[in-house]
């Protein structure tokens, strides 16, 4: 199991461990608070020590510890992969670099709007996932079925909670459509959503397509965040046997 950062339970030196950041001239208070939170976040510090590109790596580690879908030999599509932490975890756990003798070698395909630095063991593509031909391109790169489709995508924040919720559900629905098209039987779909009430139809369709559907908030997800992850395992086929979109 991936272990979370150790807590200081002694009470001694607790105040001294907290980094305070003064608001610099020209910098918004919100930016100062964000910087202060980052500096004091044990997962941020641990990510630097472990060589991950961001604290989000621990979210997929914890989700995989729960359901064990990133197994050696797995074929994985990572949507919205920047900055690359989820790909790094997937490379190691699926043995994409072939570093585990006798184990199957996985394949990782990462997709994102922005260009990101190469990740050893992963094939990275810069692509607008919502473009008309995106699904066909991704399926072509994969060259077959996937075992896992995972998404940490999030729309830019509008500052309006319900609007942001609807936007991220739309991204999740688009990711699910790709999963329905490319997953092999028994495959896994995992994607970030925000609590808010608009995910009813998505949940309904996922329950028709997968053996088990859970809503999980991993320990690495900040307590004050409304994010959670839908974890769907045991792919059975498109909901109610419907034809792929566009057919």
Residues 43 and 122 occupy one common structural domain: no
Show the 3-state SS of 16-79: HHCCCCCCCCCCCHHHHHHHHHHHHCHHHHHHHHHCCCCCCHHHHHHHHHHHCCCCCCCEEEEE
pLDDT at residue 41, as a whole number? 66
pLDDT computed for residue 245 by the predictor: 54
Judgement on whether residues 63 and 39 belong to the same structural domain of the protein: no
Same domain, 79 and 39: no
DSSP H or E stretch at residue 194? strand 183-194
- The response to whether 34 counts as a known ligand-binding position is no
Region 168-176: mean pLDDT is: 90
164 versus 142: the higher-pLDDT residue is: 142
Residues with a known catalytic role: 192
Q: Are residues 142 and 47 in the same domain?
A: no
* Of 51, 68, 95, the domain-final residue: 51
Q: What is the number of domains present in the chain? A: 2
- Res. 69: pLDDT tops 90: yes
| Per-residue model confidence (pLDDT) at position 134 | 87
Q: CA torsion sign, 47 to 53 to 58 to 61?
A: negative
Shared domain for 45 and 160, answered yes or no, is no
214/173 same-domain check: yes
Q: Who has greater pLDDT, 216 or 132?
A: 216
Residue 186 assigned ligand-binding role? no
DSSP-assigned beta bridge partners for residue 110: 78, 124
Q: Say whether pLDDT at 1 is over 50.
A: no
Decide if pLDDT at 233 tops 90: yes
Instruction: Answer whether 189's CB lies under 8 Å from 206's CB.
Output: yes
Residue 227: the pLDDT is: 87
Q: Is 110 annotated as a binding residue?
A: no
- For 9-64, the pLDDT digits (tens) are 433 333 334 444 445 455 554 454 444 455 556 878 888 888 999 889 999 999 99
| Whether residues 137 and 37 fall in one domain | no
73-129 residue pLDDT tens: 999 999 999 999 999 999 999 999 999 999 999 999 999 999 999 999 999 999 998
Q: Is residue 1 part of a domain?
A: no
Q: Identify the pLDDT of residue 223.
A: 82
pLDDT of residue 119: 97
Comparing 246 with 73, the larger pLDDT belongs to 73
CATH number at residue 184: 3.40.50.150
pLDDT of amino acid 43: 79
Q: Is the pLDDT of residue 72 over 80?
A: yes
User: Does the pLDDT of residue 7 top 50, yes or no?
Assistant: no
Answer with the residue of higher pLDDT: 233 or 136.
233
| C-beta neighbour count of 213 within 10 angstroms | 19
Q: Which residue has the tokens 């593509």?
A: 125
Q: Which domain holds residue 32?
A: 22-51
Q: How far is CA 50 from the centre of its chain?
A: 18
Helix (H, G, I), strand (E, B) or coil at 161: helix
CA distance 214 to 180: 17
- The reported pTM is 0.80
Q: H or E segment at 150?
A: strand 146-151
Whether the link from the prior residue into 170 is cis, omega within 30° of 0, is no
What is the rounded distance in angstroms from the CA atom of residue 231 to the CA atom of residue 37? Answer: 28
- Let me know whether 130 and 188 are in one domain: yes
pLDDT in tens, 193-225: 877 655 788 999 999 999 999 999 999 987 878
Predicted confidence at residue 172, as pLDDT, reads 92
């Amino acid at each position: 199991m991936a272990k979370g950062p150790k807590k200081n339970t002694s009470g001694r030196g607790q105040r001294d461990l907290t980094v305070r950041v003064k608001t610099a001239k020209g910098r918004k208070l919100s930016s100062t608070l964000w910087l202060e939170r980052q500096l004091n976040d044990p997962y941020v510090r641990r990510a630097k020590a472990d060589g991950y590109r961001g604290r989000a790596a621990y979210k997929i580690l914890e989700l995989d510890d729960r359901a064990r879908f990133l197994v050696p030999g797995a074929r994985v599509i990572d949507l919205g992969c920047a900055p690359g932490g989820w790909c790094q975890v997937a490379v190691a756990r699926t043995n994409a670099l072939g570093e585990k003798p006798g184990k199957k070698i996985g394949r990782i395909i990462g997709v994102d709007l922005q260009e990101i630095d190469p990740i050893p063991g992963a094939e990275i593509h810069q692509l607008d996932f919502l473009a008309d031909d995106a699904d066909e391109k991704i399926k072509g790169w994969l060259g077959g079925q996937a075992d896992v489709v995972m998404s940490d995508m999030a729309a830019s924040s509008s500052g309006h909670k319900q609007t942001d919720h609807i936007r991220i559900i739309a991204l999740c629905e688009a990711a699910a459509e790709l999963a329905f098209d490319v997953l092999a039987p028994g495959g896994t779909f995992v994607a970030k959503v925000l609590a808010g009430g608009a995910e009813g139809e998505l949940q309904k369709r996922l329950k028709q397509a997968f053996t088990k559907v859970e809503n999980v908030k991993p320990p690495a997800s900040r307590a004050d965040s409304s994010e959670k992850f839908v974890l769907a395992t045991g792919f059975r086929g498109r909901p109610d046997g419907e034809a792929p979109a566009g057919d």
